[in-house]
Structure formats: C-alpha cells, structure tokens
Structure 1
C-alpha cells in the first residue's frame, strides 16, 4: 500500500522537461535509481533479519531459558537502519505524506512554483542530515555499547540513508522546467537570506529560534511539504539558530526518536497485516461478510465497518486497513451500483472507529511517549471501539440501501474457502490479544510471532504467498515503515527543540490553570479540540509525540485516569486525521476509493456526527474505557 496523497505525486513523480541537459539528468536519474534499489533491498533484508532476531530471542528466553543478551541492542540498531534505508527508498520513489489542501487556494500560475519549492526543502533537510550525521559518525567511531558492540552501527545507517536522500531529492528537484526550478530555488534562497539577516543583526540569535521554528512549521504545512520534512526542517532551523547547541544534535535526536525496541512493533504489525492481505485472506473475509450482511439494508456499508474492525486487529495502521479493505470492496460497491462517495465516507468514519482497536500504531506510540502500559491501552481501547462500531452499524443500516449480492459478486467462492480465510485471521487476532492480556510477551515480541504466523500459516493455508511476492512484501513494508517512522523520528527531534525552549512547560502551566479555574472537563474539551486540529494537519504519531508528554501528566493531576485520557486523545486525533477538509487520512482514503474529497464531504457528514457523539460519550463516561482494564488487573 502506498501512503501517498495528491501532493506526494506532484513532488515525487513529475515527468517534465528537466533543467539539466538530457545526459546530466540521465546520469543523476540512473544513480538515484541504483541507490534506491540498494536501499530497498537493504531495508527488506534488515527487516527480515530483525524479525528473525526478535523471534529467536523469544524462543531462546522462554523455551531454552537462555536469553540472548545482545538481541535487543542488535534489534535497535537494525531498527535505525530500517528507518533510514526505508525513508531513502521512499524519497527515491516519491512516497512521502503531505497535504495539498492549502495549495488549491493559490492562483494556478503560482501553484507549480510552490509545489516545486517543496522539492528543494526535501533536498535541504537531507543535506542537513548528511552534515549532522557525518559529525555523529565521527563522534561514535571509538565508542561501544553496553554489550561491547561498536556504537557506530547505530549511526552509519543515518549517514548512508541521508546521502541517498540527497541524490534522490536533487534528481526530483531538477526534473522540471528551467523557469520553475530557478524561480522556486530563488524564492527559497530569499527566505533563507531573510532568516540569516535577522539572526546576524541580533545580539542573541537563540532568542529567535522558536519564532523561526514555528514559521518554518506553518509555511511547510501551507506549502504542502511532506510532514516528516516539515517537522525536520523546523527542528533543523532551531539547531542552526541556537549556537549553544552543536548541529550534531539534529541527527542525534532524529536517530534517538526511533532507537527504541518497543517501536519495532510498528513495522512488524504492518508486515503481518500485509502478509495476510497478500495471501488472499482479505478478499475471502470481505466476500464472506458481504454474503452475510448483504441481505440487510445498507449491507455494503455495514460490511465496510465490520471489515475495518477486523483488519484493525491485524495490521495496526489505519491507512493500511483502508487500502486493504478499500482495494477489495470498492469494485463490489461499483458493481452493485452503490454511491462511491458515501462508501468513501464510511471507510473514513470506520477508520476513526478503529483507532483504538489493538494493535493500533498510535496506541503503541502513545504508550511509548507517555509511559503508559501498551497492553493496558490495547485492552482499554476495546470497549470504546465496540461502542463506536455499534453506532456506525446502526447508521450504516439506517442510511444505506439494499444490494443484490449477485451484482456485487457475480462469481462466488466456495464457502469453505471463505470460512478458512476468516478462521486464519481470527486465530491471529486471538493470538495477539491473548499474548497482550496474559503478559506472555511484549508487544514487539508478539508482533514478531504474528509475522511468522502470517507468513508460514498463510502460505500453508492459501498457497498464494509465493517467494517473489514475499520478497516484494518485505521491500514495500520496509519502505512504508521508513516513511511512518521517519515522521516519528523528526517529530521527536522537534519535540526536543520545543522542550529546550520550555514551550511544553508554558502550555502545561496555562492548561493547569484553566483546569483548576474552570474545571477539569473544560481541559478535556480543549484537549479534544487541539488534537482534532493537529490530527488533521499532522499524521497521528507526531501529534501524539508532541502533545502526549504535555497533556497526560496534566490530566492525571486533574484527576483523569491515564488510560481513559489516552484513549480519548487517540480517538480525537483519529477524528481529525480522517475529517474534511484538511484530514490527511481522508485524502488517502479518497485516493484509494477513486473519488474526489469535495464530493465525499456531504454524504460523510452524518457518519462524522455519529462518530463525534460516540467520542463525546466515551470522554464523558470514563467507565467505558477503564472497566475492562480494571477487570483484567491493570
């Protein structure tokens, strides 16, 4: 699945007359393709080795009672390599996540220049990472880890990935008409010169760091710069502006953002979910649900809701879920002559509902940054998700239309095949759930088992996961993981810069004052509003990384249970992510469903209202969230 929005395609895949001569651009393009193939293969290999390492460490510890003490350090080093090889691959392919909504308000003759300026931003941030990571490599050459491994294994992938990103970003930047390339470059140069001049005439340049950082963030969002690079540019500018901080801190903080064993659960769950999709389980499951629900009014919409809930318990990524279910179900929607725009709205609303169904990526990120038990969050999200599921099923039934199953599926599979597909997926979900609830292993270790199960059992059960398909699967998931986790890495770097400026502390003081002066519930309402807004313009992970460490301690101080508050945060962020007119997730959903967002807004409003009512009920009734975790002993 490609996590591409409209702006990504303009940034990364434009086929126009290049500024350089044909020979020059051909050499650069050939070099970029060659390096991208290397990082794609290296990323896939690193992902495979990491699955083997984590799986083996669990077997050695539980079965052989001889833990591999080096396994976690190696897994973390491989994690950093996976992220930077993956993001380098995605940069070469032009597959970063960005928002182009604001570009539509620009005059048509201005828009191409602003779009092209985004390519130069990618190039500049990549250059900054190369310079900073080179110094980081030099500093790490003579250092070792706790188990005696060379420290350089953690930082070499940062430098290599950044170099490939520079080549790929430059190739994309030069592949355009001379006038567009030159004028967009001049515009960027003027902005840089203005910032430099401002700093040069100041006695204390560090005092302007926060203002310039915020300006870069706002301009990046408005210009449609991919989110990861908007965050990276903002953090990079901060480190440049503050002479008291070595520039090596920039790449150090980016790498530190993904140097955590728990985050390995994200690529592993993505891989397990994709394996189940490739081996044909998704098509079997969706057809089974359609044949079961098709006799009811709104059967296809109800199928969407149920299928999204089912797949959310496998992949962990809502965009991956939309791609998996949408790619299978939308052809049936069109064959049954149903409204494609309304179907896209149901997909987006169902993704909001599924935000708290484990193993959701954002629950893992929230638990990591807010120091909340990930297992407890997984359990706490079940009942709220079930409540939203019931509300959406009722709405889908009430607003939907009847269909003919024979129109949706002219050729029906044998029922045994469909039941087998559902059973294989259900066993995987139960395995994940049982492992989390019983505390048998960590979420990362369980995700490694899920990968092995999906690959081995899926291959035996269906026989559709060939060796070629498996290799492609690892390559694609390595690239996707790089995109998602590079956002986490850059968000962590920006969060570090915000902390240095004590901005979180100032926000915390203001919110505490509001909470004690006007009541804790006003604080909760403000939290929902803040996360809806930032969830719309950012991908979910950076919004949580920036705000969760600030808001969760305040919520606890005001008397909220951290599990309840955390689930409300994730739901609010998901609502913003898939809401019109800015929601990044809605852009991707519309692209997958083959519809325009402007046509989706009206039929989607009723489902948005249903989800918002559900979120308010969950927020106002904490028992819905905390009852099951308390029952389970958390």
Structure 2
C-alpha cells in the first residue's frame, strides 16, 4: 500500500522533537496523533469519525452517479439534481479528507531543502510550518463563515440551498483549524512560543511598514509569489503553501473582500468532472484489495519471466495496465511495486535498478487513460478530456517501446518460479486476469467512444471492481471495504485540496495580470523562434515545475496560461496537452527533488542516492522520446482525428 504522503523525509531533525504530522515516513493508517492522554484519545476519535463520514459521502456519491447514469441511459429518466448533489458530496470529501490527512501528517511537501540546513534550525522551521498551516486553516474558516452568511438565502440552479456546498467546507476548515492547532502545540514549549512570537513580529513588521510608508508598501503580488516560494522551500505542504500565498494576497489587497478567497477555493473543489479522480482511485484500490491486481501480475510473470529482461518488461507492462484502471500514478507504483519488488529481491535482481525503472514507467504511462493529470489538465485548460485520452495513447506507446528497448538490453534472464511461494492454477489465474482486463476495456471503450463521460465511466469502474471482482475472488470483507473507502476519501482530500488551493492562486495571478504579461512575452518568443522551440521551452518549464510543485499544481497554474498561447502559435491543444502532461511526469519522477521518485523509493524500500545512477539510462531515453513527440505531432493527433475529436 502506498504511503499517504509522497514525500521523503530528508530532514535530519530528531523526530522525537517534531510533532507526528510532519513525520513523512508514517503510513496513512498510523494510529499516532500529536497529543497524548485524554486530548489525544479525543482527537483520535474525532479523526476516525471524520474519516468514516467522508468515506460514507464517497460511497453515496458512487451510488448517486451510478444510479443517475443507469436512469439516463437505460430508462431515459434523468435525475436533474444528481450532478449538484454529487458535486456537494465531493466538497465533503475534499475538505474533510484534507482535514483528516492533515491530522495524520499525509499532505505532501518538500523537505529536501530544509534537510540541508543546520540541525539546530530545522526544528524551528518545522514549527513555523505548523503555524503557517494553522494560519491558513483559521483564515479559510473565517472566510468560509463570511461566505456562508453572505449566501445563506441563495439557491442553486435546481433550487437546492447553496449550503450543500458551503456548510461542508465550513465544517472541514474548522476541523483543519482544530487539527492544525493540535499539531502546532505538540512541540517543545520553548520552540512553540518562540516561533509564534517570531511569526507575529514578522507580520506586525510588514503591516507597520505598509501603513507607515504606503508609497513603498510590499505589493500583494510580491507577497503572493514570495510567500509561495518561501513556504514551499520551508517544507509547508504544497496545498497549504498555495493557500497561504493566496491568503497573503487577499489580506493585503483592499479591493478584494475575504469571502472571495473562500469562494475561489470552494469553486476549485465542486466541479462534477473532477469526481472521476476519486472514483478511478477507488477502482484501482479495489482491484488491489480484492486480488485482481495480484492475478494480473502473476500471469505476466508466468508468461514472460524467462525472457531476457522479462522482469523489466513486466514492470513496464504492468504499470501500463494499471494506468488504465486507477488513474493515479502513485497508486500504480504502489500496486506494481508492492507486488513485484519482493519477487525481484527473491530472484536476486538489482532492486535499485528496478526502482528506477518503476519510477520511469510512471512517466511513460502519464497519458494512458484515465490518468488523473489528464483529467485535471483538460478541466483547467478547457480541452476535451475524451480527446486528451485519445491523444495520449500513441505517445504512451512510443515511450513504452523506447523504455522496453533499453530495459531488455540491460536486463537479465531469471527463473520466475523463485518468485512464488504458492502458484495459482492456470485456469483460475487466466480467468482472474480476464476479469481485470474486461474492466480496462470497459473504461477505455466507454470514454473513447463517447458513450459516457469520464466521471460516469469511473462510477461504473468502481461498481465493477467491487461487485464483479468481489464475487469472482471472494476476498473482500466488510472491514476491508470500509478501509478501502476511508483510504480513497483521504487520498481524494489530499489530491483535490491542492486543486482547490491552486484555484485561488490562479485567480490572484489573473488579477495581477501575470497571465497577460507572460502571454505577450511567450507569443513574442514563439513568433521569433517558432512553435517547436516554444514547445521545447514549455516542456522544460513543466519539467522543472512538475518536480517542485508535485505535478498537479503545475498543470493547474500553467495549463490555462500556456494553452491559449500554444493555440495562438498554431499548436493543436490536444498535442500541447499531451506534451505538458508527459513533461510534468518527467519532472515529478526525476531526481533530485521529484516527489514521485521519493514516493517510489519509499514504496520499494530503496534509497534515492542508490537509485539515481541506474535510472539515468531510462530517463535519458524517455527525454529523447519526448523530443520526438514534440517534433512529430502526428503521434498525438492521429487517433483523435480518426475518432472525431
């Protein structure tokens, strides 16, 4: 199972002096909380109750969307309110999931830079991170309360109260504030109060300067950019670094009421199309729990294990298969790595080389439907998600072939029998694998043919994985199903709260007219040097920011900025979207700071310093293949044109 936090703890701080919420090595289901005694017991109960409620909201959401699709397509009796209620339930998952993930220390952040500082500084910086998270939580709660009061009598287009959206966000932000307070107060008293005094003094100093010298005040735009960069380098979780930067901007901009801050964050978490993300993640996790994943991989091992580089090929093919199910790269890495890495060690292969290849297979499969990042890019850049899915297939094939050639050349022959303690009989193995393959075909065919939207197909995938997979393998229990929904709802909160926070930053950037200024410069650059050079520059930019911003935020921020510029230069949006998502993946899973690579090392039980060298050959061939895709757009556009996108 993947750890809930895809960061690697590079800090040298003694974790005994750091509250557990920043112990990135802890798994999601760890039962430790930052407070002890009765307060800790109460906090644990609140967290567990919140997780269960969020899991119930996810389950009800699946039922509503699935039933709505059945009524619309088969009984021709659509339910008008289904989309609004489903979106409201997603808000529950986003804010409550983000709150419980905060309580368990599961939000991703970059602590690599902090780890290079003197040890005496690190505990203070960690404590400052807690105060920043608390400031964001309190600011969001107060802003959300103002928004709730302002819209208390408003209704949705279908006549429902807007409270179905604002109340869950209000309660979720309150829980965030409670959990953030517990985290902040759990450290050594001297560090806690000294850092709070320093933070208050800094805020007071900026406020006094701006009021005393208004002509030379620190501009809101500078606070927006500076606040994000500084907090990101400090190790503040990415979602909260984004939200903090936007909070600074709204607090210092007199023309913007604070309720707009809450409004923008809420607007980034209530879109029906984004429901495909928790649904596909849930389907992938269900496959892992009910044994479908294990049977698919065992079949591949039995068929291909003795071929030269057979294990390497299995890593590549297995990741490609699971990318067509879960939609989440970290879920793919966890499923494949969790099953194959023990077999790799049993057959005496190099686990560091295997870990590097596994990370590169995640890059290769970034555009295989139903990738979460393709859904996010299509949403923020207003591009057909079905078209993006079609556009991503051939490029993924190019990357797969390039990676397979290198993997076979450097691979070895092994005895796959050494990987098994108990071998599944062939009839049972083939039948079990077919159950999973049918699900893949159903997802791909449904989205590509336009039979249903990605959200609707994802709801069918969940029901299929739970019902058909459960009946076929009989490995699901009620407790495992509950744990499955709890984990999926928590991952939903962690992923989509980043999307929500980034929406507020995108709004602030628009107010500052940064997109317009960037557009003018980049259009001039593209006109002078040509669209291909522009594409290369945009790809390099996305590689850098994909590494630093954990992938999805990079797409959310730069997708709406760069896509219109690319279109103005004559680049097809589907081609551009495919290139951007692959480039983002290349940054996310590349050293030295790619968060996806840290997660892969955690999942495979390897060290980053040992993985970097053997994975270099795989990264090099993927980068060369990316250049081929940039200069030959036919790979991205052939299938969309054939299928009418």
Counterpart contact for 1:206–1:242, Cα < 8 Å: no
Q: CA separation in 2, counterparts of 1:28 and 1:543? A: 38
Per the TM alignment, residue 34 of structure 1 is displaced from its structure 2 partner at its CA by 2.4
Alignment-derived partner of residue 178 in structure 1: 189
The structure-2 alpha-carbon separation of the partners of 1:90 and 1:18, relative to structure 1 and needing over 3 Å to count, comes to closer
Give yes or no for the alignment of 1:283 onto 2:284. no
Alignment-derived partner of residue 389 in structure 1: 400
The structure-2 alpha-carbon separation of the partners of 1:7 and 1:109, relative to structure 1 and needing over 3 Å to count, comes to farther
Q: CA separation in 1, counterparts of 2:281 and 2:373? A: 13
Per the TM alignment, residue 130 of structure 1 is displaced from its structure 2 partner at its CA by 1.0
Q: Tell me whether 393-402 or 612-621 shows the greater mean CA deviation.
A: 393-402
The structure-2 alpha-carbon separation of the partners of 1:18 and 1:544, relative to structure 1 and needing over 3 Å to count, comes to closer
Give yes or no for the alignment of 1:315 onto 2:326. yes
Per the TM alignment, residue 243 of structure 1 is displaced from its structure 2 partner at its CA by 1.2
Cα deviations by residue, 1:165-188 (Å, 9 ceiling, x for unpaired): 111112122222223323333333
Alignment-derived partner of residue 446 in structure 1: 457
Give yes or no for the alignment of 1:162 onto 2:173. yes
Q: Can you give the 5+ residue segments of structure 2 that lack an aligned partner in the other structure? A: 21-32
Give yes or no for the alignment of 1:2 onto 2:6. no
Alignment-derived partner of residue 388 in structure 2: 377
The structure-2 alpha-carbon separation of the partners of 1:114 and 1:18, relative to structure 1 and needing over 3 Å to count, comes to closer
Alignment-derived partner of residue 29 in structure 2: none
Alignment-derived partner of residue 103 in structure 2: 92
Q: CA separation in 1, counterparts of 2:264 and 2:414? A: 53
Give yes or no for the alignment of 1:39 onto 2:50. yes
Give yes or no for the alignment of 1:501 onto 2:512. yes
Which of 145, 149, 161 is equivalent to 1:134? 145
Give yes or no for the alignment of 1:579 onto 2:590. yes
Cα deviations by residue, 1:2-42 (Å, 9 ceiling, x for unpaired): 331456798999555989xx998534423322221221011
Counterpart contact for 2:13–2:119, Cα < 8 Å: no
Alignment-derived partner of residue 428 in structure 2: 417
Counterpart contact for 1:8–1:95, Cα < 8 Å: no
Counterpart contact for 1:279–1:459, Cα < 8 Å: yes
Per the TM alignment, residue 100 of structure 1 is displaced from its structure 2 partner at its CA by 1.4
Counterpart contact for 1:379–1:629, Cα < 8 Å: yes
Give yes or no for the alignment of 1:462 onto 2:463. no
Alignment-derived partner of residue 352 in structure 2: 341
Per the TM alignment, residue 404 of structure 1 is displaced from its structure 2 partner at its CA by 1.9
> Could you say what secondary structure the match of 1:29 adopts?
helix
Alignment-derived partner of residue 543 in structure 1: 554
> Could you say what secondary structure the match of 1:328 adopts?
helix
Counterpart contact for 1:375–1:437, Cα < 8 Å: yes
Which of 162, 178, 181 is equivalent to 1:151? 162
TM value normalised by structure 2:
0.95
Per the TM alignment, residue 511 of structure 1 is displaced from its structure 2 partner at its CA by 0.1
Q: Tell me whether 473-482 or 195-204 shows the greater mean CA deviation.
A: 195-204
Q: CA separation in 2, counterparts of 1:240 and 1:288? A: 57
Q: CA separation in 2, counterparts of 1:347 and 1:13? A: 31
Q: CA separation in 2, counterparts of 1:378 and 1:232? A: 30
Q: CA separation in 2, counterparts of 1:288 and 1:302? A: 13
Per the TM alignment, residue 117 of structure 1 is displaced from its structure 2 partner at its CA by 1.8
Q: CA separation in 1, counterparts of 2:320 and 2:35? A: 50
Q: CA separation in 2, counterparts of 1:71 and 1:270? A: 21
> Could you say what secondary structure the match of 1:155 adopts?
helix
Alignment-derived partner of residue 26 in structure 2: none
Give yes or no for the alignment of 1:112 onto 2:119. no
Give yes or no for the alignment of 1:614 onto 2:615. no
Alignment-derived partner of residue 269 in structure 1: 280
> Could you say what secondary structure the match of 1:192 adopts?
helix
Cα deviations by residue, 1:482-536 (Å, 9 ceiling, x for unpaired): 0000000001111111111011111111000101122212211110111001000
The structure-2 alpha-carbon separation of the partners of 1:579 and 1:9, relative to structure 1 and needing over 3 Å to count, comes to closer
Alignment-derived partner of residue 430 in structure 1: 441
Q: Tell me whether 395-404 or 406-415 shows the greater mean CA deviation.
A: 406-415
Alignment-derived partner of residue 498 in structure 2: 487
Counterpart contact for 1:12–1:95, Cα < 8 Å: no
Cα deviations by residue, 1:31-74 (Å, 9 ceiling, x for unpaired): 32222122101110110111111111111111111110011111
Counterpart contact for 1:492–1:545, Cα < 8 Å: yes
Q: Can you give the 5+ residue segments of structure 1 that lack an aligned partner in the other structure? A: none
TM value normalised by structure 1:
0.96
Alignment-derived partner of residue 471 in structure 1: 482
The structure-2 alpha-carbon separation of the partners of 1:424 and 1:135, relative to structure 1 and needing over 3 Å to count, comes to same
Counterpart contact for 2:8–2:598, Cα < 8 Å: no
Which of 329, 332, 338 is equivalent to 2:343? 332
Give yes or no for the alignment of 1:524 onto 2:514. no
Aligned residues: 632
Q: CA separation in 1, counterparts of 2:428 and 2:14? A: 40
Q: Tell me whether 5-14 or 238-247 shows the greater mean CA deviation.
A: 5-14
